[in-house]
Structure 1
Amino acid sequence: MLAEADGRFLDVRHEPDDPRGQADRTLRLRRLGKLGDMGLATERAPGVWELSERLEPTLREMGERGDIIRTMQKALRAEGAERDPMSFAIHDAAPATPIVGRVIDKNLSDELGEELTLVVDGIDGRTHHVVGIDPVRVAETRVGSIVEIGPPDSAGRPSDRAIASIAEGSVYRPSRHLEQARFEGRVPGGDYDGFVASHVRRLEALHRAGIVERIDADQWRIPKDFTTRAAAHDAGRGGWANVRILSSFDLERQVGADGATWLDRRLVGDAMSDLVPAGFGEQVREAMEQRRERLIEQGDATRRSDGRVSYRRNLIATLQEREVARVGAELAATKSSPFRAAADGEKVSRMFTGTVQLSSGKFAIVEKSHEFTLVPWRPGIERRLGREVTGVVQGGSVSWQLGRNRGPEL
């Protein structure tokens, strides 16, 4: 009908003689009636309709929204859950207010693999569909993880900073980047080609935005203010959401864990007011009650005569130390060196050999020739895998330094 309209006006007054034409006209009239109910078409005279200029974009957006809703319903059914579609929240950009919930789906948003979409069953009683997620930030996020998704970070992408640092004379060469990556050996999994290809895909996206220029297959012209313009481009598109993994363990595993869980931190902080008594919010409330009883059973909490519960002093640190000691002992049984827990305030200078995921969080395995220890992991240290790292353990965390004697703190 759009193709046949004359200046957005469609004349369906004439009734064809053949049955097929009559049936087609009937279908058009029925469709025009539906579009009229939607405010996308208006009958200006009997049999003469004006099609709205918003017709195509509106229908396309509605079709995309319908696809999103079906995707969300499918993800919920896979988890054995049902939610009213009226509770669905579809975000076209990073949410202005942080969302906390359980990841129930994770998939690519585009064919270039530059962005991810997360579907999150929130503690606010709503199911959220969030696009524009940096794949690097959620590489370890899986279905069942508890996450917080908030407004974009002000800092630019690490990939943009890497491109700027590799560029020579305002020219970035993927072949040079590949050579350096292989020399430094910092790419997890050793997929150097895929690592560099992801940077090229970023440049292709920025090329479409007019920020960089492709000279040939192995040369890209980078402006002097590349990182600033790239960050401004992201901000103009709403920016990448800031995603923080609160727990890699689901609620059931957290209830029975011997470490410091997300549930424990909520219990200590007496955080209940943000839990809507429906959907995942109700599940979290029930899990917190179960976890509280578990802590009472193992002597880490006490129920007072007034019914209130008191928790062991330094509960989080105690639970974390307990879990680290257990896991350290288990790892020692598979290694040729013993485990030793790092003391608070101790300076650690050892070889970073791997990571382990605990209910208390992610920990780095650092080793010397005669022993190893586990220390809290921080973003950025993965680039030092297989190399010596230095840091100071303090207050259940660690301040890492990149390099033996110098380097920026993380």
Structure 2
Amino acid sequence: MAQDDDFHPRLGRIGNKGKGAGKRFLGRVLAAANLARGGAGGKAGRGSFFGSRIGRGSGVGRVLGSRGKYGAGHSRRVIVKASIMRLSGKGAAAAAAHLRYLQRDGTTRDGERGTLYGRDEDAVDAKAFQGRGAGDRHQFRFIVSPEDGDQYEDLKPLTRRLMERMEQDLGTKLDWVAVDHFDTGHPHTHILVRGKDDGGKDLVIAKDYMTRGLRERAIELVDLDLGPRTEREVETILRAEVEAERLTSIDRSLLKTANAEREVDSAGRDAFDQTLRAGRLAKLARLGLAEPVDGTRYRLADNLEDTLRRMGERGDIIRTMQREMTRAGIERAAGDQVIHEAGAPVARPIIGRVLAHGLSDEHADRHYLIVDGIDGRSHYLDVGGGRDLPLDQHQLSPGSVVRIDPLKAALRPSDRVIAEVAAANDGRYDVDLHLRHDPAASEAFAQTHVRRLEAMRRGGGGVTREPSGQWVIAPDHLDRVTAWEEKQLREHPVAITSLSIMPLEELVDVEAASWIDRSLAGQVPTGSRQAGGGALGAAPGDGADVSARALRDAGFGRDLRDVMERRRQWLLAQGFAQDEQTGLFPRGMIQALERKDLANAARQLSAELDLPFEEARQGGRIEGTYRRPVDLVSGRFALIERAHDFTLVPWKPMLERKAGQNVSGLMRGDEVNWTVGRGRGGPSIS
């Protein structure tokens, strides 16, 4: 129509659009109404059940999600990641650690510490929020990342409007806090929401709303603030994707149009689309991820999507390493920057100084370390999930020294013995059955098998302990052990040992048995000092060579070589080393230095506890209440409080589950063999 008056309406009777048109229209109206109020909708009957529709916001989430599916392609893009954090068990401690991490230094535009804010306040007390959530069953976590977040000077107004919309959609007030991060290429906001509604009941949010509804609400607000993307902006973004070494929207379009043989044509809907497809296919061919077939057709590699995703992650890692090394004032050639791929085994132990500790995946709570190694290279390592990360935050702070040992998922001899004993006893195992099956075995040896089963039970390994103390062992026990080990390895690919939280320079003249002293004396920190490893623990320190030949004359290797020589001279001057030429050390040197360290710490603790200190004796029984760990230069020790005094003994990770409880064990060498609970056949820790 050239003009408005060119339109000539032709009137007819209502309902003359064909047979059944009115019914179809009425059906669509009823379906839309049913969808909006959270009904079954579509073809589902009244009795149909959809788990994704349980909870608040179900209908709103589906309506918003369907709008996003068929909406215009010029809307601003916003990534929203949602997860539910269970607070039972170690969950509350993990949630507190996560909240502290979100407020870390260097996350604001000015590189300052991140600050929590809420509905009405720009600074919220984290402890007050945690206190209100004490006893909650769960907590919601959201990460909101607008693609154009760099255009916002301040993300707080956007977040507050988004949470206001969310409260309207869910029909309840929410108790939430948030923190904005500007330390990546994409500014984003972390939002924590308590798992309670305004009536004090458990808050349940429908999956449809968490996965799609909240994202569409965020897109609405960003579109209102910045306006929909123009044609020019869309074209600029797409042109940039042609040469990108990551998974792009063009790749997804190619995969969607590929045939069964994964062949695609560079021809597009129009000239611009064809230019994009042809340019991207040429780039993929150069990367070895596509090959020309004939004419304009290409065959895509089978692993195209996974490979491009890994390439994108690797690019992010390289940028992270460069940023952290620049911040630390360290220069490294490309060949001296080592990236240990997630899931790939670490070839050998790594000793080094922590340059950075952070989240590689903030949604999945997976952590990374960047370590300046004694080999003169910088190492990036995925160290697994933060929920059970064995080291405290200060033990992984920049400047601390750690040793990282590779772990392997493998059956142990004890697993085979347990399966053998159970097979001979109708699928049951305990210490008595073990000793009857193998009269040559000692009770202490059988207890190590019980500890293995206890670790599996706590980690969901598919074993059951009956009230009597007997264990129910399935016929496929060895297969379950293998599956459990592989799961553990994915969560914790390496064992991390804290060697020192003190700066290297301060170890030159400290009156304590440092890890440097043990290295000079030809020892390695014992297992009791190890802060990680869990059930998969390899022998910590195996192959961890800090001798002169292993120290490269660069970076941390050069610094350590210098400190070791100065420490040797200090030990000579103090009479610990006997020969000035060879620097030989007497057998009791480590023990003497450790006693000095314990004595200094005991004086401070004695004043704090108003109790005298009693040194633990070799072969003596340790009985009392485990209070907390105490970190010294000589290692981590457990504070055991007794009726009239207290003592310090080598710490073990499993003691943390016994805080405030009575424990007992025997002091043997550099460790304590602990027994907790019912005794023979019952739970114990080593």
Aligned counterparts, 1:271-350, within 5 A: 271-302=547-578, 304=580, 307-350=581-624
Normalized against structure 2, the TM-score is what? 0.44
Aligned to 2:499: 247
| 1:117 correspondence with 2:368 | yes
Q: Residue 36 and residue 387 in structure 1: after superposition, are their counterparts in 2 closer, same or farther (change >3 A)?
A: closer
Amino acid at match of 2:334: P
Amino acid at match of 1:323: D
Q: Residue 342 and residue 39 in structure 1: after superposition, are their counterparts in 2 closer, same or farther (change >3 A)?
A: closer
- d(CA) in 1 for partners of 2:629, 2:306: 48
- d(CA) in 1 for partners of 2:390, 2:287: 39
- d(CA) in 2 for partners of 1:78, 1:107: 14
- Quote the offset at 1:30 in angstroms: 4.7
Contact 1:118 1:133 survives alignment (8 Å):
no
- Quote the offset at 1:262 in angstroms: 0.9
Contact 2:349 2:403 survives alignment (8 Å):
no
3-state SS, counterpart of residue 131 of structure 1: strand
Contact 1:109 1:116 survives alignment (8 Å):
yes
Of 382, 406, 409, which aligns to 1:150? 406
Q: Residue 48 and residue 148 in structure 1: after superposition, are their counterparts in 2 closer, same or farther (change >3 A)?
A: closer
| 1:62 correspondence with 2:311 | yes
Amino acid at match of 2:655: I
- Quote the offset at 1:96 in angstroms: 4.2
Of 624, 631, 635, which aligns to 1:357? 631
- Worse-matched range after superposition: 322-331 or 138-147: 138-147
- Quote the offset at 1:258 in angstroms: 1.5
- Quote the offset at 1:402 in angstroms: 1.8
Aligned to 2:342: 92
Amino acid at match of 1:90: H
- Quote the offset at 1:396 in angstroms: 3.6
Aligned to 2:518: 265
- Worse-matched range after superposition: 326-335 or 249-258: 249-258
Of 28, 47, 71, which aligns to 2:320? 71
- Quote the offset at 1:299 in angstroms: 2.7
- d(CA) in 2 for partners of 1:235, 1:335: 42
Aligned counterparts, 1:389-400, within 5 A: 389-400=663-674
- Worse-matched range after superposition: 3-12 or 243-252: 3-12
Q: Residue 72 and residue 235 in structure 1: after superposition, are their counterparts in 2 closer, same or farther (change >3 A)?
A: farther
**Structure 1 moving runs of 4+ over 6 Å:** 404-407
- d(CA) in 1 for partners of 2:663, 2:300: 66
- Worse-matched range after superposition: 324-333 or 42-51: 42-51
Amino acid at match of 2:506: R
Q: Residue 57 and residue 371 in structure 1: after superposition, are their counterparts in 2 closer, same or farther (change >3 A)?
A: closer
Q: Residue 398 and residue 153 in structure 1: after superposition, are their counterparts in 2 closer, same or farther (change >3 A)?
A: farther
Contact 1:248 1:359 survives alignment (8 Å):
yes
Q: Residue 114 and residue 11 in structure 1: after superposition, are their counterparts in 2 closer, same or farther (change >3 A)?
A: closer
Normalized against structure 1, the TM-score is what? 0.70
- Quote the offset at 1:243 in angstroms: 1.0
- Quote the offset at 1:54 in angstroms: 4.3
- Worse-matched range after superposition: 104-113 or 260-269: 104-113
- d(CA) in 2 for partners of 1:48, 1:148: 48
Contact 1:389 1:404 survives alignment (8 Å):
no
Amino acid at match of 1:329: R
- Per chain length, whose mean CA-contact separation is higher, i.e. which structure has more relative contact order (CA < 8 Å, sep 6+)? 1
| 1:138 correspondence with 2:390 | yes
Q: Residue 60 and residue 387 in structure 1: after superposition, are their counterparts in 2 closer, same or farther (change >3 A)?
A: closer
3-state SS, counterpart of residue 301 of structure 1: coil
Give the root-mean-square deviation of aligned CA atoms. Answer: 3.8
Residues 16-70 of structure 1, C-alpha deviations (whole Å, 9 max, x = no match): 7xxxx4x665565554443333233445566555544444333222111111222
| 1:40 correspondence with 2:295 | no
Amino acid at match of 1:387: Q
Q: Residue 226 and residue 142 in structure 1: after superposition, are their counterparts in 2 closer, same or farther (change >3 A)?
A: farther
Aligned to 2:329: 80
In our comparison, the structure showing a higher alpha carbon Rg is 2
- d(CA) in 1 for partners of 2:269, 2:638: 77
Percentage of identical aligned residues: 34
Residues 139-185 of structure 1, C-alpha deviations (whole Å, 9 max, x = no match): 324122412222236589xxxxxxxxxxxxxxxxxxxxxxxxxxxxx
Amino acid at match of 1:147: R
- d(CA) in 1 for partners of 2:678, 2:616: 18
- d(CA) in 1 for partners of 2:266, 2:294: 9
Amino acid at match of 2:374: I
- d(CA) in 1 for partners of 2:326, 2:644: 51
